[in-house]
Structure 1
Amino acid sequence: MISVDGLTVEMGGSALFADISFVINPKDRIALMGKNGAGKSTMLKILAGVREPSRGRVNVPTDCRVAYLPQHLLVEDGRTVFEETEQAFSHLHDMERRMAELNHQLETRTDYESEEYMAIIEEVSALGEKFYAIEEINYDKAIEQTLLGLGFKRSDFIRQTSEFSGGWRMRIELAKLLLRKPDVLLLDEPTNHLDIESIQWLEDFLVDNNQTVVVISHDRAFVDKITTRTLEIMGGKLYDYKVNYTEYQRLRAERREQQQRAWEEQQKFIAETTEFIERFKGTYSKTNQVQSRVRMLEKLELVEVDEIDTSAIRLKFPPAPRSGNYPVMMSDVAKSYDDKRIISGVNLTIERGDKIAFVGKNGEGKSTLVRCIMKELEHEGDLQIGHNVKIGYFAQNEASVIDENLTVFQTIDDVAEGDIRTKIKDLLGAFMFGGEASNKKVKVLSGGERTRLALLRLLLEPYNLLILDEPTNHLDMKTKEVLKYALQNFDGTLIVVSHDRDFLDGLVDKVYEFGGGKVVEHLEGIYEFMERKKLENLRELEK
């Protein structure tokens, strides 16, 4: 379907990746993986035709429709959500209008033998063949199902797109791409702005429609569910395996072990052969044997061992003072914005050592309750913070409080204490600030980089209650592993707002479900909660 031949991208005098070739086949569901900065988004832009490579080419058949969802996009204002989503079918409406116009000309013209008349017949025939090859669509129903699946309410359909945040606008654009049913779908971090229910809906949609897709995502559960092939960019090379990401990692580890053994055997052979040459190179009776071994070494094809990512180090929190038994206590807590009730009647007691996930659709009050705990918002009811509680709080806007004039290294060096000071460079590498990046001034960092830096700084301070609001949005899989390990071994209390199921699995032991203005406590892990909720939903369908 799409062939990539000898693709090279050079940036700043060095190659991001070099001489990469592969083919995207019909019905391939591909995970494009690699560390942040490896070139994944660049590759996707080249496939989408919005960026040119330094060398090489991408061959896309003329009748192949490619749709691309970048990480950052703004929907135009001036339409309702439904009207904007309806633009997905604009090409079909254009075809219908054109066919109607041409048919009208055929009915009214009388120059039946003219070249113009024959040209109209040919165009009508070609358009009709293309139009009627497309399966019949109930436009309104398809739009409704897609918007509901991506988390919109029916009452949102008539609201202006300008009323929605960037994350919700991205959902509108995603809905449009899915409805167009392109031949190839290119998705860059599609789950970043979705809640768990919407992610599950998207998974089912892509799998059920057997959609050809190339996706960049750091959501392991999502990637494993939808993909059957993995392309990983590492060290400028491309590794291609016909399995999902988790299975790919296992196969790559096996392959590297085999390569390592072969390399060690070859090094032993080279050492022994070199020793023989050195020992007998002046001995007349051994001349032929020496020359034979020299030629053997010259022709020897050296075994290469795949590069391995060693950035995943073990991060442990500094010791923190012990808090009281109940770090957070709520009684009849409620919060409204203007006339809209977000949460009400919240009665919860969080115990020391609890690890809790706040889950629910976007807009149901997860971040609102967090901000109430942080005393950033006034609220109704009683909300008390327990004895000796030291709160560490991370939200997407926390990056703005970092001193812009410090370097990345200085930012972490200022808060690191004890043994951790000897590991600052390793920590920075694990959070994707390795090498020269540690000397960058904060002021030149991107929003995502600042967010990662703010999160790392938070982890190095002695808190006994951590509240993390979407901490994994700008982290790659290796960095998420570092963070998850640290949080699993954190002996304080944890509240985390996240839609990343793989990250939450094995980390939290309670789930607080937000919905309909209520907060319901579930004493179980994330997958147990999700499986039971799925069963409940099925029972509701049977009623």
Structure 2
Amino acid sequence: MGSISLRNVSITATDPLFAGLDFVIAEGDRVGLVAGNGRGKTSLLRCMTGEGEPTSGEIVRSRGMRVGFVEQDVPEALLDLTLHEAVRRALPPHQREDETWRVDVVLDEFETPQDMRERPVRALSGGWQRLMLIARVWVTEPDALLLDEPTNHLDLAKIYQLETWLNLAARNIPVVIASHDRAFLDAVTNRTLFLRPEASQYFPLPYGRAREALEEVDAAAQARQERELKEVSRLRKQAAKLTNIGINSGSDLLTKKSKQLRERAEKIESAVTSLHKERSGDIRLANSGTHAKVLIAIEDLSVSPPDGAPLFKVPKLHIFQGDRLVVLGRNGTGKTQLVRLLHQAIETSGSVEGIRVSPSVRLGYTDQALSQLPVRSSPSDYIGGFGLGDQRTISLLAGAGFAVEKQSRPISELSFGQRARLGLLALRLREPNFYLMDEPTNHVDIVGQERLEAEILEHEATCVLVSHDRSFVRNIGTRFLLIEGKRLVEVETPDAFFETVAIER
């Protein structure tokens, strides 16, 4: 057990990421770390482990503290090992033979099926790879736990499982979690740190309540700034008036008073702090519109994997203009397969029996893997392919969060957060009237998620969505389709499904 103390910690990359962090993370503290993509979350976590050093300040860990850090990516060296062996290799060499039982205990905690334990890591789903990384850290019995985007690739059942585990198994040690999943942060944190370049904000509250407190702080700062700038304007006007009177009357006293007023104005102005604005790539959508009321009609559709038995049937379903339709269901029930069939039917008319598409449909499509992106191309070439001209391309990419020097690099070198923003920019440029999106918030930071939600609502975009993000689903959906018992049924809200998964997981 122990604590991690941050003393005036700052990190500067090209620009300051954050400065002046000064707080203690103690036993039982579960801190949500919130910031935009590329704004220093992972850098701070690495400094807390001792793998990196802050630009200034110091981070002090209790003597002998073992800090467990769960990174986002699976090391290449683990891919050909079995899941069990990958976790075993996390133990010190002298413990691997005699204490293998510890591996089984940890895998039992994560309810890992026996056959799953012998599968190669590269054959595991992204969700199981993520749980493997957490198990590797937990088997070493850390005194503090740091997690970087732990819900990436997890389905809803595993997210609930991780929430329960954190609230029980890790409840007595310091935990720091960098995440963009708002519902997850609300479920597992009791403190929240909002990283900011000028003045980061730390609240002893879970994410949702901390966000409300942050908005109050920002509103007060804005009101204070407006008052100060109004006072600056008043002083300058008064100084100018006294100057004119002094010149006309030849009064040195008035000229001196005018100078004092200008100095007061300058002093106030120099003390005015700039208001923080969350910086994330600007996400915008479009809706080219259509006169059709029914965009897609489905009747007697059988949804199957390419080489398997039917997963479920859709007796009859109409998707109307303005619908924001969310498809719910456990992993493996066929959500993604339904999205693929809709994509195929829209791209090639008449290619899927049971799906009729209005000729006026213009598709905007993105999938979980962002497979629509040409990874060997550059953002500049990809966006330039829409015929916008060089200057417009540069401007749009800059607005989406891509510095000029990154615009000509291969897309494969971009972070997944950057790729997600690039894919959403391309969606907008296609000017669709129908959006088909499978896990569109994956890798998108919170401010980006909220911007995406606002754009969908503002443009009254017609959508079919698959998402494990509970906040996104609740904020966006107008209709909810649940895959259950090999049938697709419409339900009033997603909450009963969420509750069922939480109970049965």
Q: Same fold (TM over 0.5)?
A: yes
- Partner in structure 2 of residue 108 of structure 1: none
Matched to 1:531, the amino acid is E
Cα deviation, 1:300-325, whole Å, max 9, x if unaligned, reads 68243542337697845232334463
Corresponding residue SS for 1:63: coil
How far 1:221 moved relative to its partner? 1.0
**Structure 1 residues 531 and 261, CA gap change in structure 2 (3 angstroms):** same
Alignment partner of 1:203 out of 132, 138, 163: 163
- Partner in structure 1 of residue 377 of structure 2: 404
Q: Distance in 2 between matches of 1:503 and 1:62?
A: 42
- Partner in structure 1 of residue 18 of structure 2: 17
Matched to 2:135, the amino acid is A
Q: Distance in 2 between matches of 1:467 and 1:291?
A: 63
- Partner in structure 1 of residue 497 of structure 2: 529
- Partner in structure 1 of residue 216 of structure 2: 254
Q: Distance in 1 between matches of 2:96 and 2:377?
A: 53
Corresponding residue SS for 2:271: coil
How far 1:201 moved relative to its partner? 1.7
Alignment partner of 2:176 out of 210, 214, 224: 214
Q: Distance in 1 between matches of 2:279 and 2:147?
A: 28
Alignment partner of 1:392 out of 359, 364, 388: 364
- Partner in structure 2 of residue 175 of structure 1: 135
Q: Distance in 1 between matches of 2:266 and 2:388?
A: 54
Corresponding residue SS for 2:277: coil
Corresponding residue SS for 1:307: coil
How far 1:445 moved relative to its partner? 5.1
Q: Distance in 2 between matches of 1:29 and 1:343?
A: 40
Q: How many residues align?
A: 484
Q: Distance in 2 between matches of 1:247 and 1:312?
A: 25
Q: Distance in 2 between matches of 1:95 and 1:84?
A: 11
- Partner in structure 2 of residue 107 of structure 1: none
Alignment partner of 2:225 out of 260, 263, 286: 263
**Structure 1 residues 93 and 276, CA gap change in structure 2 (3 angstroms):** same
Q: Is the 2:312–2:334 Cα contact (8 Å) retained in structure 1?
A: no
- Partner in structure 2 of residue 3 of structure 1: 5
Is the aligned partner of 1:499 residue 2:468? yes
- Partner in structure 2 of residue 128 of structure 1: none
Q: Is the 1:231–1:240 Cα contact (8 Å) retained in structure 2?
A: yes
Q: Distance in 2 between matches of 1:415 and 1:491?
A: 26
Alignment partner of 2:434 out of 454, 465, 481: 465
Matched to 2:377, the amino acid is E
Matched to 2:492, the amino acid is E
Cα deviation, 1:47-101, whole Å, max 9, x if unaligned, reads 122223333332122321211111112372555434544556x459829959xxx
- Partner in structure 2 of residue 446 of structure 1: 414
Q: Distance in 2 between matches of 1:511 and 1:15?
A: 43
Matched to 1:512, the amino acid is L
Q: Is the 1:312–1:481 Cα contact (8 Å) retained in structure 2?
A: no
* 1:78-477 mapped onto 2 (5 Å cutoff): 79-85=81-87, 90=91, 94=95, 140=104, 142-146=106-110, 148=111, 153-209=113-169, 210=171, 211-273=173-235, 279=242, 283=251, 302-309=271-278, 315=284, 317-323=286-292, 325=294, 327-331=296-300, 333-336=302-305, 341=309, 343-353=311-321, 354-375=323-344, 382-388=353-359, 389-395=361-367, 396-401=369-374, 404=377, 407=380, 410-411=383-384, 414=387, 425=395, 431-433=400-402, 436=404, 439-440=407-408, 443=411, 446-448=414-416, 449-477=418-446
Is the aligned partner of 1:69 residue 2:70? yes
Q: Is the 1:30–1:231 Cα contact (8 Å) retained in structure 2?
A: yes
Q: Is the 2:5–2:59 Cα contact (8 Å) retained in structure 1?
A: yes
Q: Distance in 2 between matches of 1:96 and 1:402?
A: 43
Matched to 1:390, the amino acid is R
Corresponding residue SS for 2:23: strand
- Partner in structure 2 of residue 509 of structure 1: 478
Corresponding residue SS for 2:370: helix
Corresponding residue SS for 1:456: helix
Q: Distance in 2 between matches of 1:180 and 1:46?
A: 20
Q: Identity of counterpart residues, as a percentage?
A: 25
Q: Is the 2:126–2:154 Cα contact (8 Å) retained in structure 1?
A: no
**Structure 1 residues 466 and 424, CA gap change in structure 2 (3 angstroms):** farther
Q: Is the 1:7–1:57 Cα contact (8 Å) retained in structure 2?
A: yes
**Structure 1 residues 157 and 364, CA gap change in structure 2 (3 angstroms):** farther
Unaligned regions of 5+ residues in structure 2, if any?
Answer: none
**Structure 1 residues 392 and 142, CA gap change in structure 2 (3 angstroms):** same
Corresponding residue SS for 2:160: helix
How far 1:371 moved relative to its partner? 2.1
**Structure 1 residues 414 and 453, CA gap change in structure 2 (3 angstroms):** farther
* Higher deviation after alignment, 240-249 or 309-318: 309-318
- Larger gyration radius, structure 1 or structure 2: 1
* Higher deviation after alignment, 197-206 or 44-53: 44-53
Q: Is the 2:441–2:449 Cα contact (8 Å) retained in structure 1?
A: yes
Q: Is the 1:266–1:303 Cα contact (8 Å) retained in structure 2?
A: yes
Unaligned regions of 5+ residues in structure 1, if any?
Answer: 99-136, 539-543
How far 1:7 moved relative to its partner? 2.9
Q: Distance in 2 between matches of 1:86 and 1:403?
A: 36
Matched to 1:496, the amino acid is L
Is the aligned partner of 1:485 residue 2:454? yes
How far 1:16 moved relative to its partner? 3.2
Cα deviation, 1:84-127, whole Å, max 9, x if unaligned, reads 44556x459829959xxxxxxxxxxxxxxxxxxxxxxxxxxxxx
Corresponding residue SS for 1:374: helix
How far 1:228 moved relative to its partner? 1.8
